[in-house]
Amino acid sequence: MTEEVHKALINIFGPRVTNKPIDLQAYSRDISPARETLASFVVKPQSTDEISNLLRIANKYKVPVYVRGGGTSHWAGWLPVKGGILVDMRSMNKIMEINEEHLTATVQAGCTWYKLERELKKRGLAYLSSELGGPSMTVGGSIVKAGGGPYGTCKYGLHGYCDVVSLEVVLPTGEVIRTGSRAYKNVPPFDRFGAGPDLTSFFIGSEGTLGIITEVTLRVRPVPEKEEYLYFVFKNWKNVEKVGSLICRPFGDELAYTFYAFQDGADLENIHCFIHVYGYSSEEAELRVKKIKEICGRHDGKEQDPEPVKAMYESKWFLSDIFERGVWHFVGGSVPINNLVPFVEIWKDIVINKYKFLNCAFGAWPYPRAWLPYVQFYYKEPDEWDLIWEITDVLTKEYVRMGMIPYRIGGPEGFLPYVKPQLNGYYEFLKRLKKFLDPNNILQPGILIDQEEEP
């Protein structure tokens, strides 16, 4: 059967399919310490039709299909745990349209944020939210995980909160649908709502399990006239928690783009807060700066030279020395806006005090009425694999027990084993939807939704 599948894939993709061992090996890891996993084929589609044909073939032969963008997931989000076909979306990287009146950008899902930003900039526009994913991070990859990072999140939330206007999705059985206003024939993507419920949201955060996103229309904005950077150091997290909450309190008109707090495991004295402020006029930016300074000052924040903050935001696609202290692993997710401090304490208890693992940092950024805390581990592969698995296992169990919603769930070496016992009937409902949409369970099996556990 493998030979038949190969022939069918060659019919669709020509030279853009491979089963050479060296090619498969090159796709065996994401950023996380999850063990290497090999697909049987890798394909690089260039069009929605090719993906549609691929999924029909996959259903015919009952072959699993996994999907990835830039491949930089840090929670085993696409690793082909059941083998099969891995779809590398990076060749679907066209910018289809930038509409300067609707303020929308429509891109193929494999377009990188780095590429989109450069094109938007030429027109005085920007998409003002970003993760820390580097130049390979794709639009589709971020949307499908509803990601968020230390850029713009304070003001605009995670990807998909409001800035995804429409999606084109190939359903697991190969049919193509468009959401929002594009659900109507010949109507451009200007509104997230189309016919009936908001099915754009249905696919945001679905981790590729309910369909393959092929096109995304985003809300873009004019580049603000004025940007300012502030740097404060705090001595206790209770104050940081309060400051973050106050900055986000004018809901919908938050005082900053970003409020990013972090503390190094080797320096438990200082909490560094990077703040990025914007304004569509100098007066507006100055007013925000004044208010933020007042809030920070009232909570014992000490103002610093903002140069490192500016440097970080200006080099956001190519941060320096990122693996200086080792390669990365993360544990993190979302918690309510008034509940950050217990997660700091547990980090200190488990990672710093119990395991004495100081080569780490605790960071957090607020987004509308929530925090996204995370612990970042810097470690040496392969020597510290066992230690990292042990520490992160203990920490994740505790964080999930305390009510943290992991940033995304992923597969058996991601958060799935921790999350499943915590989920209620919603998860069963999700499984039923998955079964309805993907009767052969061919799309991302083992990721997010574990159908095999059904009686």
Measured at the alpha carbon of residue 54, what is the angle toward residues 48 and 56, in degrees to the nearest 5?
Answer: 110
20 binds another protein (CB under 8 A): yes
Cβ neighbours of residue 86 closer than 8 Å, sequence gap 6 or more: 27, 39, 41, 42, 43, 65, 66, 67, 68, 78, 80
Q: How far apart are CA 28 and CA 76, in angstroms?
A: 11
* Residues 263/272, Cβ–Cβ less than 8 Å: yes
134 binds another protein (CB under 8 A): yes
Q: How far apart are CA 214 and CA 194, in angstroms?
A: 18
Footprint of another protein on residues 26-55 (CB under 8 A)? 26-31, 36, 42, 44
Site string for another protein, 265-304 (x = CB under 8 A): ----------------------------------------
- By beta-carbon proximity to another protein, the closer residue of 88 and 264 is 88
**Least separation in angstroms between CB 328 and another protein:** 6
* Residues 379/117, Cβ–Cβ less than 8 Å: no
Neighbours of 2 (CB within 10 A): 11
Q: Which of 1, 186, 318, 455: binder of another protein (CB under 8 A)?
A: 318
- By beta-carbon proximity to another protein, the closer residue of 28 and 40 is 28
3-state DSSP call for residue 453? helix
- By beta-carbon proximity to another protein, the closer residue of 182 and 408 is 408
Cβ neighbours of residue 89 closer than 8 Å, sequence gap 6 or more: 45, 67, 68, 69, 108, 109, 110, 138, 140, 141
121 binds another protein (CB under 8 A): no
- By beta-carbon proximity to another protein, the closer residue of 15 and 196 is 15
Rg (CA), the chain: 22
Q: How far apart are CA 314 and CA 334, in angstroms?
A: 26
136 binds another protein (CB under 8 A): yes
**Least separation in angstroms between CB 323 and another protein:** 4
**Least separation in angstroms between CB 183 and another protein:** 34
**Least separation in angstroms between CB 319 and another protein:** 7
Cβ neighbours of residue 336 closer than 8 Å, sequence gap 6 or more: 369, 370, 371
310 binds another protein (CB under 8 A): no
- By beta-carbon proximity to another protein, the closer residue of 91 and 359 is 91
311 binds another protein (CB under 8 A): no
380 binds another protein (CB under 8 A): yes
The binding site for another protein (CB under 8 A) comprises 15-16, 18, 20-23, 25-31, 36, 42, 44, 70-72, 88, 90-91, 134-136, 315, 318-323, 327-328, 380-382
